[in-house]
Chains A and B, each alone.
Chain A
Amino acid sequence: MHALIVDDSRAMRSILRKIVTNLGYTTEEAGDGAEAIAAIELGPAPDICLIDWNMPVMNGLELVTAVRARPEWRNITLMMVTTESEHGQIVRALAAGAHEYVIKPFTPDAIVDKLSLLGLLPEGAHA
């Protein structure tokens, strides 16, 4: 399993990287939506993108919209990981095509639980 971690905070990328690599994921990182698009185009395509909302250049919502506009990327699961916790914002992200949503701050278990819900826990990893 391969995850693309998209967040402008290096510290947050590091936290998420540790959680998913512990589960057996390989990872790649991007500091904003545009870098993420470039990384996906370069390949390999990730199984999941963990996406912050507020980032410079291209924000998370724009990234979700851009990924969903590309039929060849339809198998990529998109999970927002963000401080945006208002009902309306969550609905906007879902309407744009996000599959799941984790509200910051979170515990590592929250990421594991959501990956389990999405059927994206690598074999041998347990929720």
Chain B
Amino acid sequence: MSVAEADFTYISDLVGEKSAIRLRPEKNYLVEARLLPLVKDLGMASIGDLVVSLRLKKDRTLEAKVVEAMTTNETSWFRDNHPFEALKKGIIPELLQRNVVRHSIRIWSAASSTGQELLSIAMLLDTSFDLTGWKVDLFGTDLSSEVVAKARTGHYSGLEVNRGLPVTLLVRYFERAGRDYVANEALRSMVRFDQMNLIGPWTVRGPVDVVFLRNVLIYFDIDVKRRILEQLHSVIAPGGYLVLGASETTLGIVDCYEPVTLAGSLVHRKKER
């Protein structure tokens, strides 16, 4: 069974409009996999029924539920690639010069989900730079204690390691654990994960050199976005960077960041006040 073309188009337009995530036609399977549980929860018979309800716009929360089902936990290794190129070619070389006195680098994955983003950063630093003698603090936080617990185990299924992890890194940093793969001790010792809600009290203290906060702000209204961006500004080190999702911006929300393009990727540099 697959999702009818007209239904797929409706869902894909809705998700595109609300999250700026574009669903290609081959994501038909994903629409089915993500929305069938929701269809069942709502006591509906099919995705067709769900689309009919969406079109009637009787229940405003339904759109949000669909968008959330389609966009959450969409995580892969080196996701979107560009920010990692910016890190490798622009940000880290700059930090190695700027932080030469304190000899430390701190990077925060502020919606770390099951850990792929932070582990990708750890592997990138380990394979591309000689950081002998440097204190490197790579930490992730997430709202969900469940995903934090999973991230801490370093266990990933075959399906998960398939998602964008270069095979040379799979061989170098992962071991087989039954049918799964587990990050080896060397890789796991480079990172730490903790539970933290971005809209609750923060346990993270500055200075942080780089914050990755991708595809998270889209879920918040403008006041919450502003509060989070202001609070991030207070923990980011002078000249430090904020990396947002490809469709996200600080423009029109706060003016304490300056958009800069590094290695073809747009990142946001902290402006001093």
A residues near B (Cβ < 8 Å) are 18-19, 22-23, 85-87, 90-91, 94, 98, 100-103, 105-110, 112-114, 116-117, 125-127
Contact = CB atoms under 8 A, between A and B. Distances in A.
B80 interface: yes
Most B-side CB within 10 Å, residue of A87, A109, A126: A109
Contacts of B168: 94
Contacts of B161: 103
Given A22-B25, A113-B76, 12 more contacts: A85-B176, A87-B176, A90-B170, A91-B171, A102-B162, A105-B158, A105-B159, A107-B30, A107-B159, A109-B30, A116-B81, A117-B166
Contact of A127 (B29, B30, B80, B175): B80
B183 to A, nearest CB: 14
Contacts of B22: 126
B158 A101 contact: no
B158 A87 contact: no
Contacts of B24: 22, 125-126
A117 B164 contact: yes
B82 to A, nearest CB: 10
Interface residues of B, number: 25
Contact of A90 (B27, B76, B171): B171
Nearest to A87: B176
Interface in B141-191: 158-159, 161-164, 166-168, 170-171, 175-176
B16 to A, nearest CB: 13
Interface of B: 22, 24-27, 29-30, 76-78, 80-81, 158-159, 161-164, 166-168, 170-171, 175-176
Contacts of A91: 171
Contacts, number: 69
Contacts of B170: 90, 101
A85 B171 CA distance: 11
Nearest to A116: B81
B81 A110 contact: no
A106 B171 contact: no
A11 to B, nearest CB: 15
Nearest to B158: A103
26 contacts: A18-B26, A23-B26, A85-B158, A86-B176, A87-B171, A90-B167, A90-B171, A91-B171, A94-B168, A98-B167, A103-B161, A105-B158, A106-B158, A106-B159, A108-B26, A108-B27, A109-B30, A109-B76, A109-B163, A110-B159, A110-B163, A113-B163, A114-B164, A116-B164, A117-B81, A125-B24
